[in-house]
Amino acid sequence: MKVLVSDNLSPVGVKVLEEAGLDVDVRTGLAPEELQEIIGQYQGLVIRSSTKVTKELLAAAKNLKVVGRAGIGLDNVDIPAASAEGVVVMNAPDGNAVTTAEHAISMMLALARNIPQATASMKAGKWEKKKFMGREVTGKTLGIIGIGRIGSIAASRAQGLKMKTIAYDPHMPPDTAERNGVELVSLEELAKRSDFITVHVPKTKETANLVSHEFFRNMKSDAMFIDCARGGVCDEQALYHALNDRLIGGAALDVFANEPTSHDNCPLLGLDNFICTPHLGASTSEAQENVALIIAEQIADFLLHGTVTNAINVPSVSSEVLAQVGPYLTLGEMLGTMQMQLSQGGVKEVNVEYSGELADVNTSPVTVAFLKGLFTPILKDAVNYVNAPVVARDRGIRVVESKSDRAGDFTNTLTARVVSEEGENILVGTVFGKNEPRLVRLNSFRLEALPSGPMLLVFNKDVPGVIGALGTTLGDNGVNISRMTVGREETSNQNIILLSTDQLISKELLEKVRALKHIDAAQGLNLNGF
């Protein structure tokens, strides 16, 4: 079997593939049309961030079985298209966690002691000792936005420097954070209390421009901001104004909304209280060897033995189990993704119940699929079919699976109850025909809906005119409705309306919907990929 390495990969990865008996070609820097011309020869493709695995490339890859990303991020891979073509997509989510956290700490120390500025001054022939007065980090407070795998490592390193650690993470139970010596606080409180702030969240709809003008206005005037996570989490224009107007003491970025970046598209580069690196968070020899080794072993195991590890789009199950529960894997992941977006506060407990004929088959892969879906909105590519149960365990989430041979109105049902800090939500789903997943209950509301793509969930009073007003408001704002389902609560005069739309609902439009007469609540949902 042949494997193409199309991006720079540590030689240890190539060696692992070759020693496994695979025929390896290393051809980096190929133009998209060149790659598309030759991809049909290969069963495996190893990439980093440069190669774009598009729908067109996958269509030309007639023999391709697996794509392996040496690292975490999969923004450059069309995962739905890969799934449609039967191509397994793998990554190495934990291979560079330590080095990214260490880079954030390095940036913090460089900021605190003005190291880049002092270096540039000396190289210019100056000796400006008084100009670059620094500050200690001992006893200071580090605020961490996102206390997952990388954020937790950053916290432990900061604690080793005798710093106090606080964090904002609405999806992390407080007791789990406290076990790691971290106090959970609101985003506003974090901004006000921290001397240094570091970001460790993926870019999602929820986190885009999370760090905004308001955030910087709440920071201390001498506080410093670090982002080694993802470009777009920080509003760079807001950061520029905060630095230029001396609202904060300094900032360091390793990631940018547009990469590669330059003076032409990033005015931050002209500020003397700003330091930066060109996305070096994962760029250590140890990390690159680690992710290369991990992905090479995973691809070799898959191509030679059929073993699936760290797959984003395929669970690690036998063909026999897949034949029994295949459609419910998609349903489970759908319900999980929807549950996290409905949940308020950190998730504490997950109960998954299988009823009807499902009670007699191995449903553990469906539970894993549900957990993967649950964490995807907040962790994105860092969660997959292998590590989802580990993520749940590390976050202190109790997972309970139960079975019943009674399914009520349907042959089989999957009931998912998620308990969070603020309450609980219950979703019930089933599969129509051979492969048609449906949501048939949301809490006490009965309905029949396909949870996929951008959606709008509305709670309203059961009176005439609501649907018309809602449709007019969406239409006036350029949003098309592709599907609509109405669910009624039998014991009250309240309805829910679940709409599928052609685009994600903006925050501004959501406020307009909430302001409509007889609408009690409204929430945008993102189930893209289903």
The amino acid occupying position 94 is D
Domain shared by 351 and 488, yes or no:
no
How many other CB atoms are found less than 10 A from the CB of residue 29?
A: 11
Q: Taking the C-alpha atoms of 489, 523, 229 and 150 in order, what is their torsion angle to the nearest 10 degrees?
A: -20
Domain shared by 166 and 305, yes or no:
no
Quote the CA–CA distance of 154 and 8 in Å, as a whole number.
27
Query: In this predicted structure, what is the pLDDT of residue 224?
Result: 98
Quote the CA–CA distance of 189 and 167 in Å, as a whole number.
10
Domain shared by 51 and 113, yes or no:
no
Q: Which residues are annotated as catalytic?
A: 230, 259, 279
Quote the CA–CA distance of 72 and 384 in Å, as a whole number.
11
Query: In this predicted structure, what is the pLDDT of residue 309?
Result: 84
Domain shared by 215 and 295, yes or no:
no
Domain shared by 113 and 227, yes or no:
yes
Per-residue pLDDT of the chain (530 residues; tens, 9 = 90+): 999 999 999 999 999 999 999 999 999 999 999 999 999 999 999 999 899 999 999 999 999 999 999 998 898 999 988 887 889 999 998 888 999 999 999 999 999 999 999 999 999 999 999 999 999 999 999 999 999 999 999 999 999 999 999 999 999 988 888 888 999 999 999 999 999 999 999 998 889 999 999 999 999 999 999 999 999 999 999 999 999 999 999 999 999 999 999 888 899 999 999 999 999 998 999 999 999 999 999 999 999 988 888 888 877 666 677 777 888 999 999 999 999 999 988 899 999 999 998 888 889 899 999 999 999 999 988 888 878 888 898 899 999 999 988 767 788 899 999 999 888 999 999 998 778 899 999 999 999 999 899 999 999 998 999 999 999 999 999 999 999 999 887 677 889 999 999 999 999 999 999 999 999 999 999 998 77
Lookup: tokens for 270: 């002209």
Handedness of CA 350, 354, 360, 362 (dihedral sign): negative
- Judge whether 148 and 166 are in contact, CB under 8 Å: no
Name the domain count of the chain: 4
Query: In this predicted structure, what is the pLDDT of residue 325?
Result: 85
Which CATH number characterizes residue 501's domain? 3.30.70.260
Domain shared by 122 and 260, yes or no:
yes
Domain span at residue 85 reads: 1-95+283-314
Domain shared by 189 and 84, yes or no:
no
Domain shared by 117 and 237, yes or no:
yes
Quote the CA–CA distance of 400 and 418 in Å, as a whole number.
10
Domain shared by 362 and 372, yes or no:
yes
Look at residue 440 and give its three-state secondary structure.
strand
How many other CB atoms are found less than 10 A from the CB of residue 122?
A: 12
Handedness of CA 354, 356, 360, 365 (dihedral sign): negative
Domain shared by 112 and 210, yes or no:
yes
Which CATH number characterizes residue 418's domain? 3.30.1330.90
Which CATH number characterizes residue 135's domain? 3.40.50.720
Domain shared by 301 and 239, yes or no:
no
Domain shared by 72 and 161, yes or no:
no
